[in-house]
Amino acid sequence: MATITLTHDRLHLHLTVGERISGLHGDIDVPLAAVTGVRLVGDAFDAVTGLRSPGLAVPGVVRVGTWRKPGHRMFVVARRGMPALHITLAGVKPTDIVVSLPDAEAQLTALRAHLAIHDPEGFTERDVRVASAGVELAGTETAPTGEARAVAVILPGSGEVNRDADHRRIPLGVSRDLAHALAGAGVVTLRYDKRGIGASGGQFLATGLSDNIADATAALQTIRDAHPDLPAFVIGHSEGAMIAEAVAADATGLAGVVLLAAPGVPGEETMKWQARQIAPTLPAFARAVTRLLRIDILAQQSKAIEAIKATSGDIARVQGRRINAKWQRELLAFDPAPFLARITAPVLAITGGKDLQVNPDDLEVIAATVPTPVETRRPADVTHILRADPNAPTIGAYKKLAKQPIDAQVITDVVGWVGAHAGRCTVTV
């Protein structure tokens, strides 16, 4: 049976060998920008119009191929009585796709989530500057073309990532895609380049976790000052979620906090948990070498942690390379519990069941520690980089997974939760 897959910016319709032969057609690949509409059809046959040319039709059972009418060319893989997606396209051929799918409703959710991300008419963007402790950060404000209902600052994960959460080796696009999707719910967002990255001032290696928290606090104040009448949210992923925990603890009047892959235990405990998860996922050759050379990965990590703790400067050389020692010391010492206990806004926490860098069980810690209402989600196949992986998770798969879009249900959950809580909030000054 035909299947649909989505990448960051394209839709692929994959046909079986029989469908290719029956429809005299190959797989279909179109840019998401060409998709102008999508709807769910209870019976695929109800959406098929025009004359078959060419294709196969078994009366009352199946239709595969091209159906034409003036100005339209519809490609069809339709089975009687089965739900289908009816996808309309512009600027490409075919102009319509009707495809029966056993998971049509889930596919509809995924496609709509990604269409919101790639709708250029759904938002506008402008450059902004954030002043923080003598450093000027460069960022982007994304605003809905319609009425604005709330504001949010979006905080990315660790490493040398820019305002979109893109690293030069693995462009994740998490912050960008969240901003574009949230615009569809009427949310104005601010995201920015980290210190020393992109157009921001400062030096990345000399920046500590405490500096990143100060920058996030300044960014939140910047967007709140620009839109003082709108409720405000803080949204963070990975390190950004840790920062969101700290920022939210001291912020007043927040409408909500979204924590994506957020730890609930101290940083050193999280780092040791990571090592225990990652070690068994190393490639077979690497595992064989470590056994041959009698290398204990956990012992090596413990040695590295002690070396980091022994540093005193902002930048140090550990195990032969220069590292952001201040950041790593502060990360190891960071304990979310006191911050979580001071949050006064509702919280949405999402960690994937296949996260190798943050223990999904920390969701229970977050729910038990935050005194306000907490909603948790643990999507079974979602990894730390918010992509779904049906296979056993490995760090090595990140580069390939990054070419896929963010899990649609994660996007849908975040946008829906923020939109719902924006409607419940009354701004107080």
Pairing of the two strands 96-100 and 123-132: unpaired
**Averaged confidence pLDDT in the chain:** 91
Torsion angle in degrees (nearest 10) through CA of 267, 268, 270, 271: 120
pLDDT band at 427 (very low <50, low <70, confident <90, very high): very low
Q: What is the sign, positive or negative, of the torsion defined by CA atoms of 186, 175, 213, 364?
A: positive
Please state at what angle helix 209-226 crosses helix 325-333, rounded to 10 degrees.
80
Residue 289 confidence (pLDDT) above 70: no
Tell me the one-letter amino acid at 42: G
What percentage of residues in the chain have a pLDDT greater than 70? 95
pLDDT band at 284 (very low <50, low <70, confident <90, very high): low
What pLDDT digit, counting tens, does each position of 329-339 carry? 999 999 999 99
Domain spans in the chain, listed from the N-terminal domain onward: 3-103, 123-266+334-424, 270-329
What pLDDT digit, counting tens, does each position of 386-402 carry? 999 999 999 889 999 99
**Strand pairing partners for 316?**
323
Domain boundaries 123-266+334-424, corresponding CATH code: 3.40.50.1820
Residue 287 confidence (pLDDT) above 60: no
Return phi, psi of residue 325, to 5°.
-65, -40
What pLDDT digit, counting tens, does each position of 153-177 carry? 999 999 999 999 999 999 999 999 9
